[in-house]
């Protein structure tokens, strides 16, 4: 059975990956916080090891100990406003950490590395977090081909109910403030899908690594304006919402494929779903006609929003 090491595997996406890989691979989850590590071990039944990707020696220890065939690199510092205020930590984890993951994978002949990126890395980048993830994409894709290790990235928008995201925040706000939600961006449009869809996209990249190495894989996602989600939320769960001051680093729309990337992007269909492959330095013979933006994406219907705002049941 293959061994798959998931950096940041104790987080929201990592635990969903562990569930999807159950019985198919030996999965080892890794993170820094030992209490969270213990909780993830109990929730998933996986082995969990301590790891700080920003520390090269720690990364080496993890790979020597687990001897993985593949690494899914999900560890990140991912809060946009914190990264604006404290860029050092975000750069250490997302850039230096990703470099450490790639270096050690290449040194130890790990077969494949899949880095988890975000729509915030799509050009034109608006914030420090997005810049660090854009660098991770370039780093992994450029290192591909220099050793036996295949490296790729996946890029997607918001995962509903992920750690620190709006749905858990709104739930807490309502509990603390008599049902009132303060929204920092009701006019913003955002891509959303479920954690299971994010995990599936990640595993597609791993399964198709021979075809995708050195490139970034994304897929169509539906989007919604935040006020549409707020209205469904209030209709289903009660309470009310009001706009509050925005946060540094946010923008009105997010893009999955930017304008300047179009000439380097090709469309593919996997399992009937439109996917997009960005190859930074190779022109595509048939680029998509227009960029994939939350401004022009297909909108989530009220029923789809209602399904997304239900908290997922972790198994
Ligand atoms: N959630 C979204 O909407 C979304 C959208 C696009 C992309 N992504 C990307 O998807 C990945 C997973 O996100 P998530 O929502 O699952 O986040 P999460 O729940 O916060 O998980 C992140 C994990 O990374 C670990 N981590 C952080 N710094 C680390 C370090 N230096 N070394 C080792 N582990 C570290 C954390 O554990 P410790 O703190 O204990 O180390 C945590 O387990 C991230 O790369 C994120 O950028 C997320």
Residue 300 CA, ligand 1 centroid: distance in Å? 25
Euclidean distance between CA atoms 138 and 173, whole angstroms: 38
Percent of the chain past pLDDT 90, that is, above it, reads 95
Which pLDDT belongs to residue 76? 98
Ligand 1 contact via 10 beta carbon (within 6 Å): yes
Euclidean distance between CA atoms 35 and 42, whole angstroms: 11
Ligand 1 contact via 284 beta carbon (within 6 Å): no
Which pLDDT belongs to residue 50? 98
Which pLDDT belongs to residue 315? 52
Q: Burial letters for 89-120: b for 16+ Cβ neighbours within 10 Å, e otherwise?
A: ebbbbbbebbbbbbbbbbeeebebbbbbbbbb
pTM above 0.75, yes or no: yes
**Nearest residue (CA) to ligand 1, atom 43:** 11
Ligand 1 contact via 52 beta carbon (within 6 Å): yes
Mean pLDDT over all residues of the chain? 96
Q: 31-74: per-residue pLDDT in tens?
A: 999 999 999 999 999 999 999 999 999 999 999 999 999 999 99
Q: 219-274: per-residue pLDDT in tens?
A: 999 999 999 999 999 999 999 999 998 888 788 999 999 999 999 999 999 999 99
Overall average pLDDT of the 275-302 stretch: 96
Q: Are 164 and 225 in contact, with CB atoms under 8 Å apart?
A: no
Euclidean distance between CA atoms 284 and 263, whole angstroms: 6
Residues constituting the chain: 315
Q: 111-165: per-residue pLDDT in tens?
A: 999 999 999 999 999 999 999 999 999 999 999 999 999 999 999 999 999 999 9
Q: Which two tokens stand for residue 315?
A: 């198994």
Which pLDDT belongs to residue 309? 96
Full set of structural domains in the chain with CATH: 3-157 (3.40.50.720)
């Amino acid at each position: 059975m293959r061994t798959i090491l998931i950096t940041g595997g104790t987080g929201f996406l990592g635990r969903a990956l562990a569930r999807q890989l159950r019985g198919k691979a030996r999965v080892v989850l890794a993170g820094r916080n030992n209490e969270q590590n213990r909780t993830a071990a109990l929730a998933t039944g996986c082995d969990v090891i301590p790891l700080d990707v920003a520390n090269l020696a720690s990364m080496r220890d993890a790979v020597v100990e687990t001897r993985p065939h593949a690494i899914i690199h999900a560890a990140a510092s991912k809060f946009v406003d914190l990264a604006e205020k404290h860029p050092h930590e975000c750069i250490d984890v997302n850039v230096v950490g990703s470099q450490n993951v790639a270096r050690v994978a290449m040194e130890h002949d790990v077969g494949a590395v899949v880095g988890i990126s975000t729509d915030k890395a799509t050009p034109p980048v608006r914030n420090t977090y997005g810049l660090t993830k854009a660098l991770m994409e370039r780093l992994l894709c450029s290192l591909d081909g220099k050793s036996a290790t295949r490296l790729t990235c996946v890029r997607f928008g918001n995962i509903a109910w992920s750690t620190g995201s709006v749905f858990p925040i709104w739930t807490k706000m309502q509990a603390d403030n008599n049902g009132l939600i303060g929204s920092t961006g009701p006019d913003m449009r955002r891509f959303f899908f479920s954690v299971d869809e994010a995990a599936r996209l990640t595993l597609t990249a791993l399964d198709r690594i021979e075809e995708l190495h050195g490139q970034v894989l994304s897929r169509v996602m539906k989007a919604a304006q935040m006020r549409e989600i707020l209205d469904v939320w209030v209709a289903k769960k009660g309470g009310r919402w009001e706009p509050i001051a925005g946060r540094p680093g946010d923008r009105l729309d997010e893009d999955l494929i930017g304008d300047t990337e179009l000439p380097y992007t090709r469309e593919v269909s996997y399992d009937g779903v439109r996917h997009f492959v960005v190859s930074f330095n190779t022109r595509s013979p048939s680029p998509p006609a227009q960029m994939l933006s939350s401004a022009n994406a297909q909108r989530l219907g009220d029923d789809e929003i209602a399904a997304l705002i239900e908290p997922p049941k972790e198994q």
